[in-house]
Amino acid sequence: MALVGRFEVKFAFFFLGLALFSCGGQGAIVFDVTKYGAKADGQTECAQAFVQTWIAACKSMGPSHVLIPRGTYMSGEAIFWGPCNHSKPITLEVQGTILANPDTSEYPNSHWLRFENLDGLVLKGGATFKGPPTSSRHFMEFDKVNNSIVQGVNMVSRNGFELQISGSHNLTLQNLHITAPKNSPSTDGIHISKSNLVTISKCTIATGGKKCVYEDEGATHITASTVNCIAPHA
C-alpha cells in the first residue's frame, strides 16, 4: 500500500511538472536558462548556458519560449542562431538584467549579443541590457532576421552604442529605451543596412550620434515614428 501511495505521489508531481513546463502562453514550451546552468548572481558567466538553452528551444517542435527570469546575469559574447525550422515563433523573454562581462577575452568574434538567420523571433520582457565596457563591439546585432519583433527592452551602453540590423526583412522595434553615458563617444543609435521593412516606434534613443536611426546602403521601407532622439544622459 505504502509503495503504491508513493508511486502515485511521484506520478502526480510528474504531471504537475509537465503542466508548469508548458505554461509559456500560446502553448509554447518554456526553456528556462537557470535549468541550463545560468546563475542570477551577476558574476557567473552565462553565455554558454544562454546558448545551450537557445539550441534546445530552436530544436524543439512547435512554438518555443526561452526565459531569462528576474535577477542579474553576466554574459560575454552570445550568438543566437537559426534557422529554427519547427519553432516559430521563438520567443526570448528577458525579465532580468543582462550585464556584459568586463573581461575582453569573452568576446572572441567582437560581438556581444547577436541574432542570426531567424524567422519569427520575439524579443521582449522588460529587460535591461548593460553593454560591454569597450566600444569596439556592437551592442546587439540582428543579421538575416525576418518577421520578428523586439519590444519593451532597455539598453544601457557603457561606451557608445550601436544596434545593428542587416540582411533582415520585416523587423519591428517597439518601446525600446536606449541610453549611453554622457561622456561616451557619439554613435548612431540604430544602424540599418541591406534590410527591408523595418518599423521603429515608441523608442527613446539617447546616444549622442548625428542620427538616431541611420539608414545605410540597401535600407528600404524604413519607418521611424515617435522616436524620441535626445542627448545622452545615463
- Name the DSSP letter for residue 109: T
Cβ 148 vs Cβ 172: under 8 Å: yes
Of 176, 175, 109, which is closest to residue 143 (Cα–Cα)?
109
117 touching ligand NAG, by CB under 6 A: yes
- Encoded one letter per residue, x for contact with ligand NAG by CB under 6 A and - for no contact, window 140-159 reads ----x-xx-x----------
Q: Of 198 and 213, which CB lies nearer to ligand NAG in the complex structure?
A: 198
Provide the minimum distance between the beta carbon of 64 and ligand NAG in the complex, in angstroms, as a whole number.
11
Q: Of 82 and 96, which CB lies nearer to ligand NAG in the complex structure?
A: 82
One-letter amino acid for residue 54 of the chain: W
Cα–Cα distances (Å) from 173 to 134, 135, 224, in that order, read 25, 23, 9
Distance CA 70, CA 217 (A): 39
Provide the minimum distance between the beta carbon of 13 and ligand NAG in the complex, in angstroms, as a whole number.
31
Judged by CB under 6 A, which of 169, 177, 202, 211 binds ligand NAG?
Answer: 169
Q: Is the dihedral of CA 131, 117, 81, 28 positive or negative?
A: positive
* Cell numbers standing for residue 131: 553593454
Distance CA 217, CA 54 (A): 31
223 touching ligand NAG, by CB under 6 A: no
Provide the minimum distance between the beta carbon of 149 and ligand NAG in the complex, in angstroms, as a whole number.
6
Distance CA 172, CA 150 (A): 6
Distance CA 91, CA 125 (A): 10
Phi, psi of 146 (to 5 degrees): -110, 155
Q: Which stretch binds ligand NAG (CB under 6 A): 16-24, 44-52, 65-73, 117-125?
A: 117-125
221 touching ligand NAG, by CB under 6 A: no
State the residue for C-alpha cell 541574432.
115
28 touching ligand NAG, by CB under 6 A: no
59 touching ligand NAG, by CB under 6 A: yes
Judged by CB under 6 A, which of 44, 85, 104, 226 binds ligand NAG?
Answer: 85
220 touching ligand NAG, by CB under 6 A: no
Provide the minimum distance between the beta carbon of 158 and ligand NAG in the complex, in angstroms, as a whole number.
31
Provide the minimum distance between the beta carbon of 191 and ligand NAG in the complex, in angstroms, as a whole number.
19
Q: Which residues bind ligand NAG (CB under 6 A)?
A: 58-59, 82-85, 117-120, 144, 146-147, 149, 169-170
